[in-house]
Amino acid sequence: MPALRPTLPLIPLAVLLYRNELIETNSLDAECDAVPIQSIRGGDARVWGEILRSPNAYLFHFFELARFELPIAAMRADPGSAIRFVRLPAADDRTVQHLWRNQVLPYLWSAQGYAVLHVSAVAWRRQIVAFAGVSGAGKSTLATALLQSGARLFSDDGLRVRFHRGSAWAWPGSRAVRLWPDSADALRGGSFDAVRGVTYSSKAHFELRETARSPTLPGKLRCIYVLDGREDVQTPIDVQPVVAQDAFQQLARHSFVLDPHESVCAEMHFNTLSDLAAGGYVKRLRYPRSYARLRDVVQAVHFETMNSCTPPSA
Amino acid sequence: MHTTERLTFARMTTQPDCDMHGRYMAAEGVRARRIGNETMVLVMSTGHYLSLNATGSIVWEQLLRGATPAEVASSVAQSFSIPPEQAASDVNHVMADLLLHRVVVAAPAAEA
């Protein structure tokens, strides 16, 4: 009889039970003695927000949109702590929710023992495949296209990763993707409903919401593709391994870390990225940026993932 | 995409002086991991990641074993069959970068 072996990583009970409570308010107590610790930049390198720290809380300032106060207690999943926010006139409800889910929450996860990658990820039978790249590289477009071949949207923007028994596991996150108008036009239909986007982006986005049932349990991380899209439509589709040191740098560029001076968080992040880089999880996907060849790219990713990606048993 | 300033990699390029006959140790809050032929370094005091190339990795590993920069240079010269002056210059550059980015500090006199 085979020995009973756990198939899922242990999840801290407090994290399972805890649901952050968002409370709207007119002012934040921690603002008076907070100091900036890092800037938040958009894909065009423009600073559109900053993170500050006070003795008892972290503060997120999204300029002209909203400010969030994250008590230190929330880092420890204290059920007694609630997260307060101040909404500024330019932000509607959807924008506040988006800032919370896709910006603040990934940073919070980074302080709760996860490496949090800025990627779009899908699940194929609980095998997780993620796409990393600069803004506009096609992460969300490719993830959305894969949904039409049987994948499920697993997380857009922040993907939690942690090693357990030598394998990388990923946790589901935000299941709404934002697409540029041309991508939305090319991909509209299927199991998605288009809804209007958020207010803060200088360019129009479409937010698509998956209506089919999405994964709720962690899955094994199979592969992280760093996107290398080429404008030449004849570009051959090609997947190559990324040498470990380059893989580490790619992962570091595409991740969230709340407070790099907080030693436990920083060290955990460093170790997880090192393990991912050394474990061969990162590959480079070169492909033509052409909607006419999107189906070919999807097939290539599917084939590569199922046949060649490093089994998550490093 | 929304990246943060701390995740920008710093390639080490500035070269202040170091004591080639002194002994050095990893600064507090520094973690390092050999990945491929490079070494990734986390410096918690500054919140930066740094990468050491192959030569830097050799210097780093020998320093941690207690070698002085001069001893490291001698070892590098022998291992790579390069002139001692060139090895000393290369190691001096690496040391200057390690000091600049607070990766290493001079060891206390009792340990020297």
Please compute Rg for chain B using Cα positions. Answer: 14
What does the block give as tokens for A219? Answer: 């899955």
Tell me the nearest-neighbour CA distance from A125 into chain B, angstroms.
28
Residue labelled with tokens 């991912």: A276
pLDDT band with cut points at 50, 70 and 90 for residue B16: low
A202 φ, ψ (degrees, to nearest 5): -75, -15
Looking at the complex, does the CB of residue B66 fall below 8 Å from at least one CB of chain A?
no
Tell me, yes or no, if B11 comes closer than 8 A to chain A by beta carbon: no
Average pLDDT, integer, range B63-75: 95
Backbone angles phi, psi at A63, to 5 degrees: -50, 130
* The two three-digit tokens of residue A197, written as one number: 């986007």
Query: Which residues fall within 8 angstroms of residue A153, CB to CB, at 6 or more apart?
Result: A122, A123, A143, A144, A147, A175, A177, A210, A214
DSSP A1: -
**Which of B12, B104, B7, B89 has its CA nearest to residue B53?**
B12
CA angle A85, A252, B11 (to 5 degrees): 120
Does B13 contact chain A (CB < 8 Å)?
Answer: no
How far is Cα A146 from Cα A149, in angstroms, rounded to an integer?
5
Q: Report CA torsion sign: A116, A37, B9, A64.
A: positive
Are A252 and A117 spatial neighbours (Cβ–Cβ below 8 Å)? Answer: no
More confident residue, B22 or A135: B22
- Which chain B residues have a beta carbon less than 8 Å from that of A266? 42, 44, 47
pLDDT reading at B21 higher than 60: yes
B-chain residues near A253 (CB < 8 A): 3, 7-9
What's residue A117's pLDDT? 96
> Cβ–Cβ of A270/B31 closer than 8 Å?
yes
Query: Does the beta carbon of A39 lie under 8 angstroms from any beta carbon of chain B?
Result: yes
Residue B12 has pLDDT above 60, yes or no: no
- Residue A186's pLDDT is 76
- Residue A203: count of CB within 10 angstroms of its CB: 10
Report CB contact under 8 Å: B1, A38. Answer: no
Tokens 């500024």 found at: A88
Mapping DSSP onto H, E and C, the string for A59-102 reads EEEECCCEEEEEEHHHHCCCCCCCEEEEECCCCCHHHHHHHHHH
A190: left (phi over 0), alpha (psi -120 to 50) or beta: left
pLDDT of chain A along its 314 residues, tens only?
444 444 555 444 444 444 567 889 988 877 778 999 889 987 777 899 999 999 889 999 999 999 999 988 777 766 667 889 999 988 888 888 889 888 899 999 998 889 999 999 999 877 899 999 987 788 888 988 888 888 888 998 899 999 999 999 999 988 777 777 777 777 766 556 666 666 666 555 666 665 556 778 899 999 999 999 999 989 999 999 999 989 999 999 999 988 888 888 889 999 999 999 999 999 999 999 988 898 899 999 988 888 776 554 44
pLDDT for the residue numbered A292: 87
Q: What is the mean pLDDT of residues B10-27?
A: 74
Name which of A42, A249, A278 is nearest B51 (Cβ-Cβ).
A249
Q: How far apart are CA A275 and CA B28, in angstroms?
A: 22
Q: What is the pLDDT of residue A206?
A: 64
Task: Give the per-residue pLDDT at B10.
Answer: 45
B6 touches chain A (CB under 8 A): yes
Flag whether residue A278 sits within 8 Å of chain B, measured between CB atoms: yes
CB A183 within 8 A of CB A141: yes
| Helices (H), ranges, chain B | 54-64, 69-80, 84-100
Q: State the pLDDT at residue A149.
A: 81
Three-state SS at A277 = helix
Is any Cβ of chain A less than 8 angstroms from the Cβ of B7? yes
Q: How many Cβ contacts (< 8 angstroms) between chains A and B?
A: 83
Q: Mutate which of B11, B34, B40 to disrupt the A interface (most A C-beta within 10 Å)?
A: B40
Q: Which H/E stretch holds residue B30?
A: strand B30-35
In a mutational test of the A interface, the residue from B4, B28, B101 whose CB has the highest number of chain A CBs within 10 Å is B4
Percent of chain B scored above 70 by pLDDT?
A: 82
Q: Are strands A22-24 and A83-87 parallel, antiparallel or unpaired?
A: parallel
Closest CA to A48 of A199, A195, A157, A175: A199
Model pLDDT, residue A200: 64
Between residues A136 and B30, the one the model is more confident about:
B30
* Sheet of strand B48-52: strand arrangement: B30-35, B38-43, B48-52
Could you tell me if A42 lies within 8 Å of chain B, comparing CB atoms?
yes
Nearest CA in chain B to A278: B35
Q: Taking the model in full, what pTM does it have?
A: 0.84
Bridge partners for A155 per DSSP: A121
Q: Which chain A residues are within 8 Å of B9, Cβ to Cβ? A: 249, 252-253
Q: Do B3 and A103 touch (CB under 8 A)?
A: no
The C-alpha atoms of residue B86 and residue A102 are separated, in whole angstroms, by 51
